[in-house]
Structure 1
Amino acid sequence: MAKPMLFIIGAPGSGKGTLCKKLHEEYGFTHLSVGDMMREHMSSANTNSEIVQCMQSGQLLPIEALAPILRAQIEYEREGSRVLLIDGFPRRLDQAEPVEALVGRPIMVLFFNCPEQVAMNRFLTRKLAGREKDDGEMFTKRFQEFDKLNPDIVEHYRKRGLLLEVDTSGETMTSFQMLKSALEKTSVWSLLTGMA
């Protein structure tokens, strides 16, 4: 049986990384951040210049560049994990099917829904390695892109019965409790926690 994967979607600053870290700490789920993975890949000597350019300008990567890297990392992580959290994927609907064909379909898609102002405040106060260029202009660009592309992704996974939407506008522990409460009501939760 394929090891379960959850895709995690949400605006920049919606709490994806923070809440995935909490799920890792509490349940042992493996957290794979697509953004972190691409930043790490970008720093390697053999990085495609197209990837570097997209990452530095805040643009979405073409699926042809993203898919093989994502597939290799997921296959590597599956060796030591039973449940994978894929944080920050998909960011466009046309990314979903090609990557699902390579690595399998998610058992669930978590949508962390957070108002723009709250997300922006978080985005501007985080200082992470490789994210020195995170500023108001970068946030606005990325949020507008998210706001334009995300509704199609949400609708796609909602129609397939895979979407779980969670309000992540509160403080970390409040949002985490809401996330856990929502997850515990799903039909797959006992499967996921039994496997972790």
Structure 2
Amino acid sequence: MTSEAKLSKDDITVVFILGGPGSGKGTQCAKLVEDFGFVHLSAGDLLREEQQRPGSEVGEMIQNYIKEGKIVPMEVTIGLLEKAMIDNDSNRFLIDGFPRKVDQAMAFEKEIVESSLIIYLECSEEVMQMRLLKRGETSGRIDDNVETIKKRFKTFIESSYPVVEYFRKFDKVHTIPCEDSIDEVYAKVKPIITELFKQKEQK
């Protein structure tokens, strides 16, 4: 990390939560925060906040990428994540919706910190689309509409799913089917994180 960082890389636990749009990443993260004291960083939320920040030099560019369902340049996203990690002064981070490309994964692990494990929430496009359209009724998000949702699915399959395959090579990926209820999915996620911290304590 940069010289401003308050923690050494050895102390930091980073878990990536990956899955297509609407797979329930944010919902599962909220439960993990409650049980394990993680700080939850959503790459998408950080980008949307930056987009709305008065005087942002990259706000308009971010808006255009999000509207098109495309992936924002990684320098921007990694910079926002690093700043958020330093500002939060924690040593447990859940990062959801990132990395979205293999080069992002490699850059983050080289420049910031290596991830401990990856939880991949597996879900069919039909279920994800249904969830997103339902959310779009109240979210006010510019990307919760059929046209953008289809672009986001395409981007996920072409660019983001290879990230899951990349991490599989390192035996880091836990695949969780996530079409069941929130609690049923969480019952499969929680033991993985429990085991992670048990192993860390034994080291």
Q: TM-score range by the shorter chain?
A: 0.7 to 0.9
> What's 2:167 paired with?
157
Quote the Cα distance in structure 2 between the aligned partners of 1:23 and 1:183.
8
Deviations 1:81-118 (A, max 9, x none): 23100011101111111122221110111111111111
Where 1:145 maps in the other structure, the secondary structure is helix
Deviations 1:128-172 (A, max 9, x none): 655144111111110111012233211210111211111111111
Quote the Cα distance in structure 1 between the aligned partners of 2:177 and 2:63.
33
Where 1:166 maps in the other structure, the secondary structure is strand
Normalised to the residue count of structure 1, the TM-score between the two structures is 0.88
CA RMSD in angstroms, aligned pairs only: 1.9
Where 1:45 maps in the other structure, the secondary structure is coil
User: In 2, are the aligned partners of 1:20 and 1:31 still within 8 Å (CA)?
Assistant: yes
Deviations 1:31-69 (A, max 9, x none): 111111111111012221322221232211011222222
User: Would you say how many aligned residue pairs link Structure 1 and Structure 2?
Assistant: 189
Q: Which residues of structure 1 form unaligned runs of 5+?
A: none
Q: Which consecutive segments of 4 or more residues in structure 1 shift more than 4 A?
A: 127-130
Q: 1:3 to 1:159 in 2, by over 3 A?
A: same
Q: 1:172 to 1:12 in 2, by over 3 A?
A: same
> What's 2:6 paired with?
none
Pairing 1:29–2:38 present = yes
User: In 2, are the aligned partners of 1:110 and 1:166 still within 8 Å (CA)?
Assistant: yes
Quote the Cα distance in structure 2 between the aligned partners of 1:29 and 1:71.
16
User: In 1, are the aligned partners of 2:15 and 2:94 still within 8 Å (CA)?
Assistant: yes
Q: 1:151 to 1:39 in 2, by over 3 A?
A: closer
> What's 2:91 paired with?
82
Where 1:164 maps in the other structure, the secondary structure is strand
Pairing 1:73–2:81 present = no
TM-superposed deviation, 1:26: 2.1
Normalised to the residue count of structure 2, the TM-score between the two structures is 0.85
Aligned AA for 1:165? T
Which residues in structure 2 correspond to 1:1-196 (within 5 Å)?
Answer: 1-47=10-56, 48=58, 49-77=60-88, 79=89, 81-127=90-136, 129=139, 131-184=141-194, 186=195, 188-191=196-199
Q: Which residues of structure 2 form unaligned runs of 5+?
A: 1-9
